[in-house]
Amino acid sequence: MFARVGGAIDERNYLIYPYFSERSSLPDDGARLGLWAMSAALSDHPSTHTRIVDLLRRALFSSATHPLVGDERDIFLRRYQALILERERLKKGG
């Protein structure tokens, strides 16, 4: 989702990912990974204009509130690999 926020002095386009889970709020590491994934997938869009919005809790996540620390790619790949292994295990009936 893109949103244009602007006034007489400044206009910017923001890339916004809406997060809405009734069961849990978005954890800090989840916000960092989400911001990293958006930046990696959409590298032509400035990461400073990327946001995740927790709609149910009225929370905003950005690189200013959740700065990347450099290990996001490794964490993402580890979690993704764990999901692949779990999927394979379930496909085998286990």
Per-residue pLDDT tens over the stretch 17-72: 999 999 999 999 999 999 999 999 998 888 888 999 998 999 999 999 999 999 99
pLDDT of residue 12: 72
Q: What angle do CA 76, 44, 74 make, to 5 degrees?
A: 15
pLDDT of residue 8: 47
pLDDT of residue 47: 87
Whether 28 and 62 have beta carbons less than 8 Å apart is answered as no
Residue 5 CB partners (closer than 8 Å, separation 6+): 11, 12, 14
pLDDT of residue 4: 53
Prediction pTM value: 0.79
* Cβ count within 10 A of residue 1: 9
